[in-house]
Amino acid sequence: MIPLIKTFMPPKNELMPELEKVLYSGYVAQGDSVDKFEEELSKYIGNSHCLSVNSGSSALHIALILAGVKEGDEVISTALTAEPTNTVIKQTGAKIVWADIDLKTGNISPEDVERKITQKTKAIVVVDYAGVPVDIKKFQDIEKKYGIPIIEDGAHAFGASFDGEKIGNHFNYTIFSFQGIKHLTTIDGGVLCIKNNDEFEKAKLIRWFGISKSLTRKENDISIQGYKYHMNNVNATVGLVQLKKIDSVIGRYIDNGEYYDKALKGISELEILEYYSGSQPSYWLYTVKVKRKHHFIKALAEKGIMASDLHKRNDLHTLFKESDTSLPNLDQFENEWVHIPCGWWVTNKEREYIVNVIKEGW
Ligand SMILES: Cc1ncc(COP(=O)(O)O)c(C=O)c1O
């Protein structure tokens, strides 16, 4: 079966010596490897304020705290995402207000977000679902017009870009996940990219119990609620070796994605997604809209290809019941969207095979 998801791991002879070195170095907690990983990440993303953490969820939580989100506030979000985007908002005590999606892309609709803004809106969380950047230009305008911070959940969009600049530079806060199945994995981990330097310093405190690492314990006076969200040297070492390979790994996702963009055009009962002008997706998953989705999934499975609508729309979970609202575009999208294999492991021969199987019909 050609899988939908597969973890990339650098060759043993490159990863294992580095891992062995750190494991027996006498220091595996947060230290030099973490600093180095942040330095390399900053170079790759092009943002000097990259704070590594132990998960994308922790990064999101810190972003929400920095945005000032508290119990009783409202946060606008999308239901078409992996659950952590929204369980973490819930963790702050804020109420989630769902905005509908743009049918052309599956991403949160800027127009519906604007309709949902109230006096209580403290933040807006936008998700680059499946690696396709949201309508960055319109959301930047919204951030400016209302003064409400936007948190970009780029968990699926590492290596994607807009107007030639990598995702991680366009809003006050952007998060990425380095969990086990993402473009880049540190086994578990994440990063928060921040625009403002003072907030970056505050985020460092929140990451580690409210304690400043640049002072001794005795000199420290905790004045802010912090958490145990830091990354350690072992995970950072995996990340450093992964980063050396990232251009070729993400290049392969993009090459396969762009191949499908061309090869799947004009097939009856199948629609490909649109991308917002200026954006370069990193195609963590390749999404198509098809008629009779369950037949499509079955037909591909019979030919050894995994296709799946990976995520449950989040508004159906009991936890989010208080946010119930009508989302007509998502209702329509839900009947049709499905992902096909697109990642670094899909060879040219396999992607041609996948297209031919789809062309045979379902
Ligand atoms: C869209 C999205 N946001 C946030 C997260 C949370 O990341 P992590 O699993 O690293 O906490 C994930 C990961 O599953 C995700 O897919």
- For the segment 28-49, the average pLDDT, to the nearest whole number, is 98
Give the architecture-level CATH label for domain 12-242.
3-Layer(aba) Sandwich (3.40)
Distance CA 284, CA 271 (A): 18
- For residue 345, the model assigns a pLDDT of 98
- For residue 275, the model assigns a pLDDT of 98
pLDDT band for position 49 (cuts 50, 70, 90): very high
CATH 3.90.1150.10 region(s) of the chain? 246-360
**Which of 75, 177, 310, 314 for mutating ligand 1's site (highest number of atoms within 8 Å of CB)?**
177
- For residue 128, the model assigns a pLDDT of 98
List pLDDT tens digits, range 319-328.
Answer: 999 999 999 9
pLDDT band for position 229 (cuts 50, 70, 90): very high
What is the whole-number distance in angstroms between the Cα of residue 82 and the centre of ligand 1? 6
What is the whole-number distance in angstroms between the Cα of residue 58 and the centre of ligand 1? 9
Q: DSSP letter for 329, please.
A: H
**Cα dihedral sign for 237, 240, 241, 242?**
positive
- For residue 219, the model assigns a pLDDT of 97
Say whether 339 sits in a helix, a strand or coil: strand
CB 191, CB 175: distance < 8 Å: yes
pLDDT band for position 53 (cuts 50, 70, 90): very high
Q: DSSP letter for 100, please.
A: P
Q: How many residues in the chain?
A: 362
Q: What is the DSSP string of 64-78?
A: HHHTT--TT-EEEE-
For ligand 1, what atom is nearest to the CA of residue 60? 4
List pLDDT tens digits, range 242-300.
Answer: 999 999 999 999 999 999 999 999 999 999 999 999 999 999 999 999 999 999 999 99
Contacts of 141 (CB under 8 A, 6+ apart): none
What is the whole-number distance in angstroms between the Cα of residue 217 and the centre of ligand 1? 33
Dmax over CA atoms of the chain, in Å, equals: 70
pLDDT band for position 29 (cuts 50, 70, 90): very high
Distance CA 78, CA 213 (A): 36
Contacts of 206 (CB under 8 A, 6+ apart): 62, 65, 66, 224, 225, 226, 227, 229
Distance CA 226, CA 289 (A): 43
Distance CA 57, CA 86 (A): 10
- For residue 172, the model assigns a pLDDT of 95
What is the whole-number distance in angstroms between the Cα of residue 153 and the centre of ligand 1? 8
Residue nearest to atom 16 of ligand 1 (CA): 82
Ligand 1 contact via 107 beta carbon (within 6 Å): no
For ligand 1, what atom is nearest to the CA of residue 178? 10
User: Is this model's pTM higher than 0.95 or not?
Assistant: yes
- For residue 236, the model assigns a pLDDT of 98
CB 171, CB 146: distance < 8 Å: no
Say whether 205 sits in a helix, a strand or coil: helix
Ligand 1 contact via 305 beta carbon (within 6 Å): no
Structure tokens given for 68: 């000032």
What is the helix (H) or strand (E) element at residue 174, kind and residue range?
Answer: strand 173-177
For ligand 1, what atom is nearest to the CA of residue 177? 10
What is the whole-number distance in angstroms between the Cα of residue 158 and the centre of ligand 1? 12
Contacts of 245 (CB under 8 A, 6+ apart): 8, 10
Q: DSSP letter for 2, please.
A: B
Closest Cα to residue 157, out of 130, 185, 125, 184?
130
Distance CA 154, CA 113 (A): 18
List pLDDT tens digits, range 147-162.
Answer: 999 999 999 999 999 9
The overall average pLDDT reported for the chain is 98
- For residue 329, the model assigns a pLDDT of 98
Among 27-31, 78-82, 308-312, name the one with the lowest average pLDDT.
308-312
- CA 279 vs CA 134, 142, 252, 358: distances in Å: 9, 18, 17, 27
CATH 3.40.640.10 region(s) of the chain? 12-242
Domain 246-360 of CATH type 3.90.1280.10? no
The rounded percent of the chain whose pLDDT value lies above 90 is: 100
**Which of 58, 85, 178 for mutating ligand 1's site (highest number of atoms within 8 Å of CB)?**
85
List pLDDT tens digits, range 11-22.
Answer: 999 999 999 999
